[in-house]
Structure 1
Amino acid sequence: MGGEKKPPQAIQAQKLAGILREDSEGVLVIDCRSFTEYNNLHVVGSVNLCGSKLAKKRLLKELLVLPHHPKIDPSFEKQVVVYDQGSQELSAGHFVSLVVGKLEKKYSSVSLLEGGFANFSSQFPNLCEGRTSNILHTSISQPCLSTSTVSVTRILPHLYLGSQNDVMDQEVINQNGITHVLNVSYSCPKPVFISDNHFLRIPINDSYCEKILPWLSAAVEFIGKVELVNGRVLVHCLAGISRSAAVAIAYIMRLMGLSLDDAYRFVKEKRPTISPNFNFLGQLLEYEMSLANSQQSHLPSPVQLESPTDRACTVQPSDADTPVLFSPTPKYGCDVCDDIHESSSGKTSQRLAGR
């Protein structure tokens, strides 16, 4: 039947491995799995195009554009290789088939990796990279011993992401105009040159049983209020990889109204080393659902962050999963602390319910 579309050209794992070893810049490899799978392990140098239901709908409507990445430039002749986890035969409506069809309009050579990532990774584990290859799990939650060589990263004009080494370096802080610090750890110390009323601690470890969701509203509010007073906040944990990255992603979701997939990609493009653990990613999915169900679509009204009392604060987790608006009435010597304590006591919920 002449109207049927021919199946995509196949490329064997051995051939792709040879290309990557000889001329990795001459090939564009696109990973069509979920971002959690990609985050865990992927073909070296590959670009993730998350195969979510939303992405498929956008592809069907010709609304989805390829992610911004230096490698993705149709003006240069590249061989393109697409893969998912292990599909052998793909229907016309399969996400990967749709991606291949879109790519074939831009590139002359588009191939589908035979056997998918499962086959490739089993044969060439040395040509795969990701969390499991880059992060030693034994280092998780060991305070104040940085495992990252990446310096502080600007995510937004008022939001920076970094490590414990960054926050303890006064020259780095001054060069980047950092005025506030959000410490996402139990034990990493507060730098002496950051005043107590410009410091907030979210006391959590980087583990697969830690709860980050109850703290996200407080963290997002703190960052939002720093922006409103024209400040700059450095969000950090041990290495700026997991805990602080999860907080930054949550803030981007709330501020820009992005999905978890898009917010993750936004932060990842700015700081490629981020890798929130799977436990945190699952809770970010819950946060995404809470935002979708929430009628609060804007960050809070401006409040004064300055306080005559120097008192560093550690927030308490919120009972509610959805973002809340806070009262600016100071009681604790730190306006952000006052807001958070009031929300924890339930006063804010009562005030909103009465509207």
Structure 2
Amino acid sequence: MNREKRIHKMAGLILCEPTELYNILNQFNRCSRLAESNYLCLLDARTKREYNESHIITAKRALQNENGEYLCPTSIELESLKYCVVYDGNSNTLGKGTPAIECARILEQRSRHPIRVLKGGYEKFSAFYHFFRTKKILWMPQEIEDFKPYPAEIIPGLLYMGDCRQACDLQIQKDLKIQAHVSVSEELETLFKTESGKLYHIPFPDSTESGLLLYFPGICNFIGSYLMSSLAVLVSSRLGISRSSTVVMAYLMYQYRWTLQAAWNHVQKCRNNMRPNRGFVKQLSDWEMQIHRVAVTDISDPNY
């Protein structure tokens, strides 16, 4: 009983923005993180009819007993699960007894991590990400491993960060309504299908010697000119880990006057395995100095 109380105190419920769930679904290393058994449990607390008509990709329907009470999934180890997200039609707060809240209250009793309730539910998420709606119920392990992630969403609906494969995928460009690209790679990908003037190419390798700092003002002006008109931009590099994250952080620091630490934390939340090389970290620190007239972030911290 004491153990159950201890777990209950460590859990709780929090609202999950649609962009957060989008990024959770699109995390990957060598393959999609959705293939990891202890990564994500996504539960649909709507009716069986609504679930069968359409649901968020990989979601399972939350089951109920004969009294209408929600049940914990028996196939999931909630205590070791990184993310558990529950949604219904359109829940927006944690204060009402909606289906998503009722289901989440049952789950939190066995979870060490907060249970996320999708803000706006299925209706809001599917309006933003219609390409993640599906009728598919059963997923084979190989299908999950082969799931092709989309770019990380840095600023909802406007700024994305990805790798070269994603940048060259015409379906991704169409789904995310990408209007311009920033490509930081040694060679310009021949598969790019974009109009002249909508591509900013920086032909640098992922090397500590690459001098991206001089390009930051031009990059920020290029990205800003599109975002100001509500046009989406995708920043990419070969793996979408080092060079692209450096450029994205430089823009966030410039546009919002964020410190390097604030930009770093935000981008890392959007793409868990982002990692600029040490040379780029130093250049971002110099960029912070130019913006704030002082080096606010201590880049000797092992986190950087």
Q: Please report the TM-score for the alignment, with normalisation by the length of structure 1.
A: 0.41
Computing the radius of gyration from Cα coordinates, the structure with the larger value is 1
Q: Please report the TM-score for the alignment, with normalisation by the length of structure 2.
A: 0.48
Higher relative contact order (CA 8 A, sep 6+): 2
